[in-house]
Amino acid sequence: MTTITGVDVHDVRFPTAAAGDGSDSINRGDYSATYVELSTDGGVAGTGFTFTNGQGNEITCAAVRALAPTLIGVDLDGDPLAFLRALTAHPQLRWIGPEKGALHMATGAVVNAVWDARAKLAGKPMWQFLAELPTEDLVAAVDFRHISDALTPGEAAAILDKGRAGLSERLEELRREGFPSYTTSVGWLGYPDEKVRALTRQAYAEGWRAMKMKVGGPIEDDVRRAGIIRAEIGPDALLMMDANQIWGVDEAIANMARLAEFDPYWIEEPTHPDDVLGHARIQRAVSPVRVATGEVAANRVVFKQLLQAGAIGVMQVDACRVAGIPEVLAELLLAAKFGVPVCPHSGGVGLCELVQHIAIFDYLRVGTSLDGRMIEYVDHLHEHFEDPVRTREGRYLVPTRAGYSSDMRAASIAEFSFPDGPAWN
């Protein structure tokens, strides 16, 4: 038995806004993290974080502090569902969600820190820790309340049992070839045309064959930029587009009719993330272009509906907006049930580090296919992590260190702590 003895939270912010990195039709900020360290009596520290956009990071930090009393004394090997619900169904805190927004993001940070500690105790990287868990342990971690009309515990168990077959061959393949990915570093809205062209050319030369651009500015600008990128990458490479929620439903359909000539592979976040019915209408209108969403989908209930409504062709789970590993597991299982590929949302602060584990576990044990699977890659801020992602010719290499690759370097925490770190003085 290993118990949690302390909870520390750090408000860490990187001054990225000035360069236009990460700018899109909705967001423009300083990439930040609400970074949680759990002390335990077992000789390991669990770490987790949620990504924010600068201002407001103090709010998610406050939410972590509100959750902290519920964490102290928790047995890391106790009932995972009882622990999860102590946070997600807290009789007082739940009201300011429920299961969404700042509180749920903080929940994601602390739940991931618990699972990081568990993987470290087992001496395994997170993908391996999960892939080797017995089916009943994985099923026991999932909260099926409010999703059992779409996925029963029995169906989940069947998916996970089936995933055992061929697992070692799939792992061998990943170790040999890496996991497919795509890059979002070429087409932020804040970049001028010539920078987009140069970055696209450079990425293509480095081996990337799938690239994402931001859309949602004036449509003529979007058309011009899409033309620049498509001309650089030729007809065979994949071009994804991301509207970051700016459009209305009818507007999304009209604008995608304009952009269809550049053969987009998917349109990401075409409209408001809560609009399940709107996404379903857009998906019917733009097919065979796929609708992709999920980076700010609040929880498994929203993903359940996106799948039930046939609203998405690509599901983009986020590692720490939802309630950490157990809720991500629910989402992977739902996607497998409905036959929709998962391409995790990444970028931000440390999201690449986390989602590589999710995608690898999904391939090994849940989705069991690489067809249509890619991990987003953004080339920012990896240097602040103890176990940064490694890529080779547009593919993620399998991580080997124990845990969730979430440990931030102590020097980075000190340098970028807000408002007192040297970077902010």
Residues catalogued as catalytic:
214, 345
The footprint of a second copy on residues 144-183 (CB under 8 A) is: 145-149
- Is 274 among the residues that bind a second copy (CB under 8 A)? yes
Alpha helices in 167-265, H assignment, sequence order: 167-177, 193-206, 219-233, 249-259
Answer for which of 89, 223, 285, 370 binds a second copy (CB under 8 A) is: 89
In this chain, which stretch among 46-54, 168-176, 186-194, 364-372 interacts with a second copy, using CB under 8 A? 46-54
Residue 379: count other Cβ atoms within 10 Å of its Cβ.
Answer: 16
37 beta partners: 8, 47
Give residue for tokens 């089916």.
135
Q: Which is nearer to a second copy, 2 or 107 (CB)?
A: 107
- Is 96 among the residues that bind a second copy (CB under 8 A)? yes
In this chain, which stretch among 48-56, 112-120, 164-172, 375-383 interacts with a second copy, using CB under 8 A? 48-56
Q: Which is nearer to a second copy, 280 or 329 (CB)?
A: 280
Cα torsion at 50, 52, 57, 61 (round to 10°)?
-10
Minimum Å gap between C-beta 373 and a second copy is 26
| Helix/strand/coil percentages in the chain, nearest 5 | 45, 15, 40
Q: Which is nearer to a second copy, 105 or 364 (CB)?
A: 105
Q: Which is nearer to a second copy, 265 or 416 (CB)?
A: 416
In this chain, which stretch among 117-125, 157-165, 229-237, 267-275 interacts with a second copy, using CB under 8 A? 267-275
H-helix or E-strand spanning residue 185: strand 179-187
In this chain, which stretch among 233-241, 257-265, 276-284, 330-338 interacts with a second copy, using CB under 8 A? 276-284
The footprint of a second copy on residues 126-145 (CB under 8 A) is: 145
User: Are the C-beta atoms of 364 and 334 separated by less than 8 Å?
Assistant: no
- Is 190 among the residues that bind a second copy (CB under 8 A)? no
Question: Positive or negative, the Cα torsion across 166, 170, 171, 173?
Answer: positive
Q: Which is nearer to a second copy, 92 or 425 (CB)?
A: 92
- Is 18 among the residues that bind a second copy (CB under 8 A)? no
Burial class of residue 423 (count of CB atoms within 10 Å of its CB; 0-12, 13-18, 19+) = middle
Cα torsion at 358, 32, 295, 392 (round to 10°)?
-50
Task: Please state, in angstroms and rounded to a whole number, the distance separating the CA atoms of residues 219 and 226.
Answer: 10
Give residue for tokens 């618990």.
114
Answer for which of 54, 294, 347, 399 binds a second copy (CB under 8 A) is: 54
The footprint of a second copy on residues 232-261 (CB under 8 A) is: 245, 248-250
- Is 102 among the residues that bind a second copy (CB under 8 A)? yes
In this chain, which stretch among 55-63, 112-120, 256-264, 369-377 interacts with a second copy, using CB under 8 A? 55-63
CA 404 from centroid of its chain's CA atoms: 13
Radius of gyration of the chain (CA): 20
Residues 6+ apart with CB under 8 A from 326: 80, 81, 84, 111, 115, 141, 142, 143
Cα torsion at 23, 29, 31, 32 (round to 10°)?
-160
Distances (CA, A) of 85 to 9, 133, 323: 21, 21, 10
- Is 425 among the residues that bind a second copy (CB under 8 A)? no
- Is 215 among the residues that bind a second copy (CB under 8 A)? no
Distances (CA, A) of 21 to 126, 182, 190, 266: 29, 17, 7, 22
The footprint of a second copy on residues 285-314 (CB under 8 A) is: 296, 298-299, 301-302, 304-305, 308-309
Q: Which is nearer to a second copy, 56 or 227 (CB)?
A: 56
- Is 272 among the residues that bind a second copy (CB under 8 A)? yes
In this chain, which stretch among 72-80, 103-111, 334-342, 361-369 interacts with a second copy, using CB under 8 A? 103-111
Answer for which of 4, 103, 314, 335 binds a second copy (CB under 8 A) is: 103
DSSP string, 95-125: GG-SS-HHHHHHHHHHHHHHHHHHHHHHTSB
Answer for which of 15, 20, 56, 153 binds a second copy (CB under 8 A) is: 56
Answer for which of 1, 18, 92, 422 binds a second copy (CB under 8 A) is: 92
Kindly state the number of chain residues that form the binding site for a second copy, as judged by CB under 8 A: 61
Binding site for a second copy (CB under 8 A): 17, 26-30, 52-56, 58-60, 62-63, 66, 89-105, 145-149, 245, 248-250, 271-278, 281, 296, 298-299, 301-302, 304-305, 308-309
